[in-house]
Structure 1
């Protein structure tokens, strides 16, 4: 695991932490495209070209990452992120590296496995129809428990993901005053950052998840000028940088049937 602070965060507790947090969803991936195609075709299995951790950006996803970088290049040096950390999954790391290179930032993209996407266990590569037909008992259990607490065999619940993200946020509290951090990750991870940072209830989180898709290469921004205490959501799920540059905005939503039944 790579610490957010290259010198290590356990050496000493700082008086204040990060003042800005940018959350970026990766650009459209080949897995996104395959999942949407499988759903529209009524297929049970998503024909992805590689394991989840190794799926590349689609051509559109690469264009989105470049447009993101062009927008970031316009950020003034004194308010530019000084730390960029990505999920180790290829689609996220590609997005981060293309964006940083395009922005011409003198930063090295580091990775942290705590930012990886939720692991689906035995349900990996299955569409909703595939789960219903192949694992009907799991489909029933998922409906009963709801998105936050359902853990597929061999996988994670959203609550499990939230636990690893809390440790990331604790490190942000000890980075030192004035630090600005950009994290490149996944849609569920961004939803769960909101859940934690805003102290949402289960119902509030699931209402958001049922009504909102985190768009590819979107920007969500939190600030806290003092470097301590609660974060304030300044913007959410913004894709103006894609629209301005004529790049396609893509929406690849997960299952919106998220509330317990």
Structure 2
């Protein structure tokens, strides 16, 4: 797609209490992840807040013109802690995390044990097009992000725009900005960690396309990549 922005960045949110709970549940072989809040309300951990503040160091030398953030609390708080002074922060629900529907709060084991037919359907359809009941596929997330990019291009041509969002958003942007085909995108997703509070950036080429120039860089306070 044609995007008339000079630079696009994606800052993944800092470590959240949900990230920690998911990792602990997976390690324990549990079926369910112990998160009390709805996904939109999951907060940052103390480390996550430190990570977000440190991410501001990555942006200070070349600040964006605008920060557009997911409306989920962990992303919104990361944006406020990391954005350089004076840069506007605009929330947009189209950057929210992928909705998992009936699979929400289930570990890999939990999905396999409680929804075996869905696990089989996911293997058949592939991650990009598989949509859990009541949830979204990767393609659905792309369909949300595509018009947002188009609107920003029309409203702020030539601008430097930073998105503060989720792991999934990195791959949605790779698909839209770089034109990475689905099979290659799935291989990249399986092989490429996206650490909490990491920055990925793209610059516009002379031919109007985009090239990734920074991939998953952190300011040195990452606890490693965590899911969601």
Please say whether Structure 1 and Structure 2 have the same fold, judged by a TM-score greater than 0.5.
yes
**Corresponding residue pairs, total:** 226
> Unmatched 5+ residue regions in structure 2?
none
Which one of 53, 74, 77 corresponds to residue 91 of structure 1?
74
Report what 2:100 is aligned to: 120
Matching of residue 222 in structure 1 with residue 202 in structure 2: yes
Matching of residue 181 in structure 1 with residue 161 in structure 2: yes
TM-score (norm 1): 0.82
> Unmatched 5+ residue regions in structure 1?
1-15, 255-261
How many Å apart are 1:141 and its aligned residue? 0.6
**CA distance in structure 1 between the partners assigned to 2:227 and 2:105 by the alignment:** 15
Report what 1:248 is aligned to: 222
**CA distance in structure 2 between the partners assigned to 1:159 and 1:177 by the alignment:** 26
How many Å apart are 1:127 and its aligned residue? 0.4
Q: Secondary structure of 1:109's partner? A: strand
Which one of 230, 236, 246 corresponds to residue 215 of structure 2?
236
Instruction: Map 1:1-261 onto structure 2 (within 5 A).
Output: 17-75=4-62, 80-100=63-83, 103=84, 105-224=85-204, 229-239=208-218, 241=219, 243=220, 247-253=221-227
**CA distance in structure 1 between the partners assigned to 2:99 and 2:135 by the alignment:** 5
**CA distance in structure 1 between the partners assigned to 2:19 and 2:156 by the alignment:** 37
CA contact (8 A) 1:18 1:178 kept: yes
Comparing 177-186 and 90-99, the one that deviates more: 177-186
**CA distance in structure 2 between the partners assigned to 1:18 and 1:33 by the alignment:** 35
Q: What are the Cα deviations for residues 135-156 of structure 1, in whole angstroms up to 9, with x where unaligned?
A: 1111111111110010000000
Alpha-carbon spacing, 1:43–1:224, altered in 2? closer, same or farther (3 Å): same
CA contact (8 A) 1:18 1:175 kept: no
CA contact (8 A) 1:213 1:253 kept: no
CA contact (8 A) 2:64 2:87 kept: no
TM-score (norm 2): 0.94
Report what 1:12 is aligned to: none
**CA distance in structure 2 between the partners assigned to 1:202 and 1:177 by the alignment:** 28
Larger Rg: 1
Comparing 230-239 and 115-124, the one that deviates more: 230-239
CA RMSD of aligned residues (A): 1.6
How many Å apart are 1:46 and its aligned residue? 0.3
